Structure 1
Amino acid sequence: MTHPWFLGESTPRILAHRGFVPHDSESVVENSVAALAAGRATGTVYLESDCHLTADGDVVLFHDDDLRRVANDSRPVAEVRTRELADIMSTRGGLAILPDILRAFPDARFNLDVKADAAAHPVGALIAREAHRVLLTSFSDRRREIALDAARTHGGEPATSAGSKITALVLAALTARLPRVAARRLDGIQALQIPERHRGVRILSRRLLDLAHSAGVEVHVWTVNDPRDMRRLLDLGVDGIVTDRPDLGVAEKTRVL
């Protein structure tokens, strides 16, 4: 059965990577409330973001472990109180606190990457009631599974994308020409979210696409910002593009459709 996250929206899916920061903006940073709103305003319903936990135990949308890149502050997110983090982000587009964001964007669909071990269980519990419009992922399959278990305990069943371990096992089985083994690795997975290449090694291939599609699994490629690359990947048959330029991605989707 197809998860609701995928229903009612045509492919290719355009996922606004950490929202959207317009190039002329001097006061909006990624993963902020304003960036998420800008991503939604491009015409895509899919907002990709990342989850960390503050010192108060609040789940906030933040990519890095610390504030160095966003606010020139070396402290880890986990050591900053929520109120102070909100003050810091007040001039940068606004702090995105997960339950507030779920309420603020009731018609958006979220792709949430759990970045910290401590955030896994709280994220799962928080998204349970909105699981129909959430896809949970993490580079760590263990972290992802903790979040999934928490969501299920609270009555929700979010969609999910494979972490790095499962993805590596699928690729290894394909390389060994064991497609049935590769397909079994995808049990319980609705999406593969992968780079086209990693450290010079090609990840995306026609064989991987065919395998995923035969297993009912979508393939989303990150992070693609050049319209020519978007066009090439969409013509190849990928199901989604994760991009810092959802405005360009939506334009390419219109071309395909």
Structure 2
Amino acid sequence: MTQIYGHRGAKGEAPENTLTSFQQCLKHGVRRCELDLHLSADNELMVIHDPTLKRTTGRRGKVFEQQAADLITYDARKGGPGWVSASPIPRLAELFEKCDFEHWQLEVKSASRTRAVTTVLAIRELAQEFGLLDKVTITSSSREVLGAAAEFTPDISRGLVAEYAWLDPLKVAQNYGCNLLALNWTLCTPERLIKAQRQGLHVSVWTVNEPALMRRLADFGVDSLITDFPGLASATLENR
């Protein structure tokens, strides 16, 4: 059975990476999610995709230059589907506290060695505090991040985010001891899928928003789909 992950919550329905978006995902009965993390200036884990604030809040500046206490006051509903109420940038801690997901893909964007280490250790500390060590996977396309996770947080599962085929994603995933492969759907051929699953990888394919594509990938046998429309995905796959 193909599982469903809400992409940045329910990005197609509510402002991405906000508490509202994750609550929307849960409303559809979808209890797995994917989100993006950046550190604030005071090393708090903030849930936002871009390193800059412009696209989702309209503000200038970079996430890592601002304090968490300020970031959580910024309304992040710009550029998404229309939403009536303010939807601030959340701390990861707030989502852990308020959202009951059975699995979280926590994507860490590329970072310097120091920042990568700080980020994975912060994830570990928070996951431990909330009793979620076995419910989170640190995912990244960055070797720096995956290397830091393998070395400093070996007890948390790892996943490679693969967008391009210029490197063999299966080899890279193996090198960093990953057990999840988050694969751009355009790279998901039946051959690559079978090979990845034989290697023991859970293959999670993104971003899948068309019902026909959802059905096709589910028929291929992907382990999970990451979608902006978890409600639509749920209805589509239930009707198969």
Shift of 1:186: 6.6
Aligned with residue 177 of structure 2, among 169, 188, 200 = 188
Shift of 1:232: 1.2
Between the aligned partners of 1:166 and 1:131, the Cα distance in structure 2 is 29
**2:158 aligned partner:** 160
Shift of 1:167: 7.3
**2:5 aligned partner:** 15
TM-score (ref. length: structure 2): 0.82
Encode CA deviations 1:18-69: one digit per residue, 9 max, x unaligned. 001464xxxx521011111111111111111001011121101110001100
Q: Which moved more, 1:223-232 or 1:119-128?
A: 119-128
Query: Is the 2:159–2:173 contact (alpha carbons within 8 Å) kept by the matching residues of 1?
Result: no
Q: Which moved more, 1:159-168 or 1:221-230?
A: 159-168
Q: Which moved more, 1:126-135 or 1:69-78?
A: 126-135
Encode CA deviations 1:202-239: one digit per residue, 9 max, x unaligned. x2212111111222212111101111111111112211
**1:130 aligned partner:** 132
* Higher Cα Rg, which structure: 1
Alignment RMSD: 2.6
Query: Is the 1:52–1:61 contact (alpha carbons within 8 Å) kept by the matching residues of 2?
Result: yes
Q: What one-letter code is carried by the residue in structure 2 that aligns with 1:52? A: H
**1:59 aligned partner:** 45
Q: Percent identity?
A: 25
**1:71 aligned partner:** 57
Distance change (3 Å), C-alpha of 1:165 and 1:42 = closer
Between the aligned partners of 1:210 and 1:204, the Cα distance in structure 2 is 10
SS in 2 for 1:87: coil
Q: Does 1:81 align with 2:75?
A: no
Between the aligned partners of 2:192 and 2:96, the Cα distance in structure 1 is 33
SS in 1 for 2:147: helix
Gaps of 5+ in 2: 77-84
Shift of 1:163: 4.3
**1:121 aligned partner:** 121
SS in 2 for 1:162: strand
Distance change (3 Å), C-alpha of 1:68 and 1:165 = closer
Structure with the higher fraction of residues in helix conformation: 1
Encode CA deviations 1:117-140: one digit per residue, 9 max, x unaligned. 223432233224421100110110
Distance change (3 Å), C-alpha of 1:195 and 1:21 = closer
Distance change (3 Å), C-alpha of 1:125 and 1:151 = farther
Q: What one-letter code is carried by the residue in structure 2 that aligns with 1:194? A: L
Query: Is the 2:47–2:91 contact (alpha carbons within 8 Å) kept by the matching residues of 1?
Result: yes
Between the aligned partners of 2:173 and 2:179, the Cα distance in structure 1 is 13
Query: Is the 1:224–1:230 contact (alpha carbons within 8 Å) kept by the matching residues of 2?
Result: yes
